[in-house]
Amino acid sequence: MGAEQPPDAVLSVEGLTKSFGDRRAVDGVSFEIAPGETFGLLGPNGAGKTTTISMICGLVPPDAGRITLCGHADGPATPQARSRLGYVPQDLAIYPDLTARENLQLFGRLQGIPRRALTSRVDEVLEMVGLADRARDLTKEYSGGMKRRLNIGVGLLHQPDLLILDEPTVGVDPQSRNAILEAVDALAAEGLALLYTTHYMEEAERLCDRIGIVDQGRMVAVGTVDELLRITGEADAVALSGSGAVGAAAAALGELDGVSAASVDGTSITLTVVDAPAHLATMLAVAAESGMSVTDVDVSRPDLEDVFLHLTGRALRD
Amino acid sequence: MTPRRRVSDLTAIGAMVGSDLRQRLRDKSVVIFGLVVPFALILVMNATFGGLNPESIDPVSVTLVSARDDPSAEGLAKAIEMLGAPRVKLTRLTPADDNAQESRLEQSVESGRTDAAIVLPTDFTSSLMGGGRPAVTLHRRSGIGAVIVSYVVDGFVNRATAAARAAVVAGSQGLDPATIAKVAQDTASPAHDLALEIRDAPPGQLSTSGMLVAGQAAFFMYFTIGFGVIAYVGERELGTLPRLRSSPIARRTIVTAKVIVSFILGLVATSVLLAAGALLFDLRYDNLVTVGAVVVAGVGAVSALGLVMIRLASTADQAQMATSVVGVVFGLLGGSFFQITGTGLLARISDLTPTAAFIHGVGIGADGGTIADAASPLLILVGFGAAAAVVASLLPDRSTPR
């Protein structure tokens, strides 16, 4: 878990620890993010995600541990290092008595973007977040979704190497939430490295290349979604429906590696398979060879909720 | 790739100050609480207390009726004309042959053409010298100006009577007539021979209106300073503080920008109040350089106090309350509403407040005093600001997110 650090990692966190009084908010958290990678921190409220991000952004000094940010061994301690990251806080971090353009211009200047370049970059970002036609309106007149989009736009303004998004969809209506997720998808597709915290497992599954599961300040697991799902040891349920030699197909499929059980129910076969996606093509070929014409396939997989439950003994939203 | 360069403190401070000022002007709070409210309060207080200012008493017209060349009448006329406030327009008349002169004078007073009319009998001086008590008639209107004139007349008559009695006594002692005349003249004369050396009070004494204007300007300095404190604390509540602190700028620049915003707003509001007060209440600042230096030092001292409040307050409500409490306490202690006089501990503490030093300094400048004359209040203001900055640096930062 985080033992091997890519030499070109955008962010590397090792043994990060932080206590507030007697409460240990973050306890030895380690992970790294490669360029272009979307890394998710998944955990319930109070798990230590925001404190971890606060340390990465230089808002809170860690008690122990090391942060290497874009090659800067001092982490966020220097302005040079901080200029490489974009931060989208959980709370809206924009000024209500300024227009969208004025907000972007202010934060752009604080990021060191020269005036001339800033004007065109602000226009680009306004287009990107879909606020070009409302750029001159005070943001206090915006809807919640528009404010969220601007909030993300400010974080992107200076084209950081790493964008940190701290629960950007909390308290957002479904339509805006979808727009935000699409925007994050687009950023990931452009190759921007992202650190995304959430307590919504479906967001983590959809967006993240790798996920770190955090609970009570500790990183309990890190990996791709498939890797994490394997931790549970629970197999997928595969249902094949069709016609022809269903019984023969079931018998042949039951002999395959990774298939632990096969049962027939009329024209359907239900299989218990470890890592079903890896075996799906073989299963379909065997069914066809056995004389079964498969018309429908359904794979039910354990999800991250199950993984969290397996690792912590508690539900993700407890 | 968007070009980027290192952000200097000045660039960051300039950007934040410009943005903050724009927001404060847009939400109009600075105009309302920094200018409109204090100015309204000055108007109310000046209407209530400002009438006590001697300079504001209206000029009075006085008619003096006396025999031509009566030496005592000349003395009375001189005493009346010597009044600085109220200003007196004196008209001299000789007694008319008809008996209607007195009723004409009475009507003149009743109609308001004259504020006071004094009628001395034609034998005024000779009657006095003979030991008599000649009847002096005074017609007067209501009003403080006429009352003052009546006191002057009363005082003069008493002095003249005393002089006549002194002359009578001198005559009974066998003094020669020349000496007697000299005794009587010396006793009665308002411009006696005492060697009177007039020394002006040290500069710094403002008129009642001046005290009110300077006092209220000092009082509301704390509230305009509060805008910076509230703006900083508001960044925490707004959620923008973490974003600012994750930017590639020095942490000190954020607080510095807020203090500069406070300073600018305080400077503008205080200057406008002093200037408007001068126009409305006919005040003069004879040495604008000194007044300007005191305003800068005063606003600077209170801005430094804002640093302490930034450290102590963790919500905008707390900041507002702290600003109000500090403003009222220093306002009361420093003489924004009434002066604390004396030599006790309270008076000493009062003298050391920015409010008292500010009012004192403005008074010195208004009287034409130089910056050197105002060294004492300026030092108090600078010292207070430095002490506040040191205290703020020793207090823990409560803005660390958790």
Smallest CA-to-CA distance from B225 within B159, B166, B316, B303 is with B303
**CB-based contact (8 Å) between B397 and chain A?**
no
Q: Give the sheet arrangement for strand A236-244, strand by strand.
A: A259-265, A268-273, A236-244, A292-300
Compute the average pLDDT of residues B132-151: 78
B337 touches B266 (CB < 8 A): no
Give tens-digit pLDDT for A74-125.
Answer: 888 888 889 889 999 988 899 999 999 999 999 999 999 988 899 999 999 9
Give me the pLDDT at residue B119, please: 87
pLDDT tier for residue B51 given thresholds of 50, 70 and 90: low
Picking from A177, A210, A230, the residue at the C-terminal end of a domain is: A230
Using only C-alpha atoms, chain B has a radius of gyration, in whole angstroms, of 31
pLDDT tier for residue B292 given thresholds of 50, 70 and 90: very high
In a shared domain, residues A181 and A131: yes
Compute the average pLDDT of residues B195-217: 63
Picking from A180, A202, A230, the residue at the C-terminal end of a domain is: A230
Is the predicted pLDDT of residue B55 greater than 70, yes or no? no
Give tens-digit pLDDT for A175-216.
Answer: 888 888 888 888 888 889 999 999 888 899 899 999 999 999
Residue A55 counted as domain residue: yes
Subunit contact B242:A54, Cβ cutoff 8 A: yes
Smallest CA-to-CA distance from A85 within A110, A57, A117, A108 is with A57
Q: How far is CA A49 from CA A26, A111, A217, A218, B399, in A?
A: 8, 25, 8, 10, 19
Angstrom distance (rounded) from CA A102 to CA B23: 11
Residue A161 counted as domain residue: yes
Nearest CA in chain B to A58: B246
Give tens-digit pLDDT for B261-288.
Answer: 889 988 988 898 888 888 877 788 889 9
A1 touches A51 (CB < 8 A): no
Picking from A230, A259, A282, the residue at the C-terminal end of a domain is: A230
In a shared domain, residues A190 and A246: no
pLDDT tier for residue A19 given thresholds of 50, 70 and 90: very high
How many CB atoms are located within 10 Å of the residue B52 CB?
Answer: 12
Nearest CA in chain B to A82: B248
Angstrom distance (rounded) from CA A42 to CA A225: 11
Residues of B in contact with A82 (CB under 8 A): 246-248
Give me the pLDDT at residue B307, please: 87
How many CB atoms are located within 10 Å of the residue B56 CB?
Answer: 17
Is the predicted pLDDT of residue B112 greater than 90, yes or no? no
**CB-based contact (8 Å) between B257 and chain A?**
no
Angstrom distance (rounded) from CA A87 to CA A160: 9
Angstrom distance (rounded) from CA B238 to CA A92: 7
Percent residues over pLDDT 70 in chain A = 96
The domain ranges of chain B are 10-52+207-394, 56-188
Subunit contact B7:A111, Cβ cutoff 8 A: yes
| Chain B closest-CA separation from residue A118 CA (Å) | 8
Mean pLDDT of chain B: 79
In a shared domain, residues A30 and A83: yes
| Chain B closest-CA separation from residue A18 CA (Å) | 10
Give me the pLDDT at residue B183, please: 62
In a shared domain, residues A249 and A217: no
| Chain B closest-CA separation from residue A19 CA (Å) | 10
Give me the pLDDT at residue B214, please: 87
Q: What is the largest CA-CA distance in chain A?
A: 73
Give tens-digit pLDDT for B26-36.
Answer: 888 777 776 78
Residue A80 counted as domain residue: yes
Nearest CA in chain B to A23: B402
Q: Of A4-8, A118-122, A256-260, B340-344, give the range with the top mean pLDDT.
A: A118-122
pLDDT tier for residue B170 given thresholds of 50, 70 and 90: low
Nearest CA in chain A to B7: A112
β-strands A210-215, A38-42 pairing? parallel
Give me the pLDDT at residue A25, please: 94
Subunit contact A98:B19, Cβ cutoff 8 A: yes
Compute the average pLDDT of residues B377-386: 94
Give tens-digit pLDDT for B301-320.
Answer: 999 988 888 888 878 788 88
Domain count, chain A: 2
In a shared domain, residues A153 and A21: yes
Residue contacts between A and B (CB atoms, under 8 Å):
108
Percent residues over pLDDT 90 in chain B = 14
**CB-based contact (8 Å) between B15 and chain A?**
yes
Residue A310 counted as domain residue: no
B39 touches B67 (CB < 8 A): no
Contacts of B145 (CB under 8 A, 6+ apart): B57, B58, B59, B60, B86, B115
Subunit contact A87:B6, Cβ cutoff 8 A: no
Angstrom distance (rounded) from CA A104 to CA A124: 11
Give tens-digit pLDDT for A206-221.
Answer: 999 999 999 999 999 9
CATH code 3.40.190 for B56-188? yes
In a shared domain, residues A185 and A278: no
Residue A311 counted as domain residue: no
In a shared domain, residues A244 and A126: no
Q: Which backbone phi and psi does B66 adopt, to 5 degrees? A: -155, 160
Subunit contact A107:B245, Cβ cutoff 8 A: no
In a shared domain, residues A221 and A264: no
In a shared domain, residues A110 and A183: yes
CB-nearest partner of B246 from A59, A102, A159: A59
In a shared domain, residues A214 and A66: yes
Residue A306 counted as domain residue: no
In a shared domain, residues A157 and A285: no
Give tens-digit pLDDT for A275-305.
Answer: 888 888 999 999 999 999 999 998 887 788 8
Give me the pLDDT at residue A191, please: 86
Higher pLDDT residue, B268 or B1?
A: B268
Subunit contact A112:B23, Cβ cutoff 8 A: no
Subunit contact B242:A59, Cβ cutoff 8 A: yes
CB-nearest partner of A110 from B23, B247, B402: B247
Smallest CA-to-CA distance from B261 within B8, B30, B9, B36 is with B30
How many CB atoms are located within 10 Å of the residue B327 CB?
Answer: 23
Residue A5 counted as domain residue: no
Is the predicted pLDDT of residue B257 greater than 80, yes or no? yes
Residues of B in contact with A138 (CB under 8 A): 26
Subunit contact B401:A159, Cβ cutoff 8 A: no
Residue A318 counted as domain residue: no
**CB-based contact (8 Å) between B244 and chain A?**
yes
**CB-based contact (8 Å) between B368 and chain A?**
no
> Which of A109, A137, A162, A164 is most worth mutating to test chain B (most B CB atoms within 10 A of its CB)?
A109
Is the predicted pLDDT of residue A14 greater than 90, yes or no? yes
In a shared domain, residues A135 and A193: yes
Q: Domain with A114 in it: what CATH number?
A: 3.40.50.300
Compute the average pLDDT of residues B46-64: 66
Q: Domain with A243 in it: what CATH number?
A: 3.30.70.100
Contacts of A7 (CB under 8 A, 6+ apart): none
Query: Quick one: DSSP state of residue A317?
Result: T
pLDDT tier for residue B187 given thresholds of 50, 70 and 90: low
Q: Domain span at residue A257? A: 235-301
Give me the pLDDT at residue B195, please: 38
Give me the pLDDT at residue B382, please: 95
Residues of A in contact with B238 (CB under 8 A): 91-93, 95-96
A241 φψ region: left (φ > 0), alpha (ψ -120 to 50), beta (else)? beta
Give me the pLDDT at residue B237, please: 83
CB-nearest partner of A89 from B2, B243, B400: B243
The type of residue at A79 is: P
pLDDT tier for residue B331 given thresholds of 50, 70 and 90: confident
Subunit contact A102:B19, Cβ cutoff 8 A: yes
Residues of B in contact with A60 (CB under 8 A): 400-402
Residues of B in contact with A117 (CB under 8 A): 2-3
Q: What is the largest CA-CA distance in chain B?
A: 116
CB-nearest partner of A111 from B16, B248, B402: B248
Percent residues over pLDDT 70 in chain B = 81
Regarding an ipTM greater than 0.90, the answer is: no
Residues of B in contact with A90 (CB under 8 A): 239
* DSSP output for B355-396: HHHHHHHHHHHHTT--TTTTHHHHHHHHHHHHHHHHHHHHSP
β-strands A193-198, A38-42 pairing? parallel
